[in-house]
Amino acid sequence: MTGVFQSPEPHLDRVVGVPGVAFTALSCIVGVGIFSLPGLVAGLLGPAAIIAYLVCAVLICLVGLCFAEAGSRVSSSGGLYAYASAAFGPVIGGIAGALSLFASAIGSAAAIARFFLDTLASIWPTLGNSGASMVLLVTIYGTLALVNIAGTRDGTRLTITLGILKLVPLAAIILFGLFAIQPVNLIWPAMPSVGKVGEGTMILIMAFMGIETGLNMSGETRDPARTMPRAIALALGCVAMFYIALQFVAQGVLGDALAGSTTPLAQVAGAVFGPRGATLMMLATAVSVGGYLVADMLSSPRSAFALAQAGQLPRWVARINPSRHTPHVAIVLYAMAVVLITVSGTFKQIVVLTVAGTLLLYLIVCLGVLRLRAKNVAQAGKPFVAPGGPLVPIAAAGIIVWLLSTLAWRELAAGGVFVIVTGAIFMARQFRTRTTRRATTSPQL
């Protein structure tokens, strides 16, 4: 015996399976958008809006295939950040991590948390008071942080439960709404132009964003080479079917009244279930947004954890709770950041960056798949390979460039400035790291 027993270093437990990843991704995709989306798309395309859904389903599947392959090749925590780092190294990886954390995660969560408070205030006006809303917000995020620190299994179960609760009312609208459809409302007056279809597709692509959130749990996923592709396919398949079915029912029930409606599903619920239907749908909206916040708190702090593990955030952010095996520091800091931005009102400025930043993040990862193949990265066994050779990643990248071209120049400029600044920071850090290594390894005279 040479010494006392040394306990192993704390580590993340691989306890998340296909349902956990799929419902996390699904909860983050099916959020606020689906409750207003049918009216927006109908305002552009009328009864022919279904074309944009079909086009969008094809396009997002290409991006999903890229994510599935990257997720099966890279098993470490961090999702898209980890994939970009494995493909392109620490500088591009750092840019991807910053986009993932600040553009895709914190900004979106703050905006949706604000919407959540406003939705509840429309039902219970007392919550419109700033003090009451602040107390509620701190209570919500404090509870979510404690649940996720207590254990990843607990966070996953809560995510799955709320994911099911948000799907039940949507499924009820589809099921009962089919019997209230007026066939005349589904007749196309004319074939929409390509430009209009493209505009409608852009809206729907934004609604599909969120699939990457479930990938942040790669480091806690069982058998990621098999789990990630299956979970992505399950989440995207469910979302596509729900979106198409909801648009079909909403158009068939409301007809011309659907175009431009800001609460289309509430109107459908009122038509199908009676006067209380709209109120119930408002409650369903609150549950849906709550489901997003739960799923986001389960996965997004892993981006900060992964950045800290790589030394691109302070190392103490990557500390793991020794008894619960969860990244407790990253969880607490993420919850605090979302709360502060939500109450400050500055999240409106970050939304612009969220749009351009998330698309840029997707572009990096889709191109990164080609690099991962060239480097033969396979951290979790035999990886899933998207069919068609380089066709899927290149087609996905082309789609993203097309979508970026539809953004206003100010949005593109904001995204460009963010990328340049963060890239310069990470390049400087990489230069200092190399200089330090050379100094410590050079022979002393």
Q: What single-letter amino acid sits at 419?
A: V
Highest averaged pLDDT of the listed ranges 63-67, 183-187, 337-341: 183-187
Does residue 443 surpass a pLDDT of 60? no
pLDDT at residue 328, rounded to an integer: 83
For 250-277, write each residue's pLDDT tens digit.
999 999 888 877 678 888 888 888 877 7
Exposure letters 242-259 (e unless 16+ CB within 10 A, then b)? bbbbbbbbbbbbbbeebb
Question: Which segment of 8-22, 104-118, 136-150, 389-403 scores lowest on mean pLDDT?
Answer: 8-22
pLDDT band at residue 169, thresholds of 50, 70 and 90? confident
As to burial, measured by CB atoms within 10 angstroms (0-12 exposed, 13-18 middle, 19+ buried), residue 152 is: buried
Question: Any idea how long the chain is?
Answer: 445
pLDDT of residue 113: 79
Does the pLDDT value for residue 55 go beyond 80? Answer: yes
Decide if 238 contacts 26 (C-beta within 8 A).
Answer: yes
Q: What is the pLDDT at residue 217?
A: 55
The pair of structure tokens assigned to 52 is 């944009």
C-beta of residue 39 within 8 angstroms of C-beta of residue 262: yes
Question: If pLDDT is split at 50, 70 and 90, which confidence band does 6 have?
Answer: very low
Q: Which two tokens stand for residue 388?
A: 């068609």
The rounded distance, in Å, linking the Cα atoms of 318 and 313 is 9
Q: What's the mean pLDDT when you consider all of the chain?
A: 77
- Using alpha carbons, list the distances in angstroms from residue 370 to 88, 159, 212, 365: 11, 33, 18, 9
pTM exceeds cut of 0.85: no
Proportion of the chain above pLDDT 90, given as a percent: 10
Contacts of 225 (CB under 8 A, 6+ apart): 72, 73, 75, 378, 380, 381, 382, 383, 384
pLDDT at 9 over 50: no
Q: Which is higher by pLDDT, 386 or 291? A: 386
Q: Say whether pLDDT at 118 is over 90.
A: no
Flag the least confident range among 37-46, 223-232, 368-377. 223-232
From CA 297, how far away is CA 146, in angstroms rounded?
10
Q: Which of 144-148, 243-247, 277-281 has the highest mean pLDDT?
A: 243-247
Question: What is the rounded average pLDDT of the residues 156-181?
Answer: 77
Of the candidates 13, 124, 98, 3, which has an alpha carbon nearest to the alpha carbon of residue 354?
98
Total Cβ atoms within 10 A of residue 9:
7
Instruction: Using CB atoms within 10 Å of the CB of residue 165, give its burial: 0 to 12 exposed, 13 to 18 middle, 19+ buried.
Output: middle
Three-class SS state of 127: helix
The predicted-structure confidence for 342-360, as pLDDT tens digits, reads as follows 777 544 555 556 767 888 8
Per-residue model confidence (pLDDT) at position 152: 53
- Smallest CA-to-CA distance from 272 within 370, 388, 175 is with 175
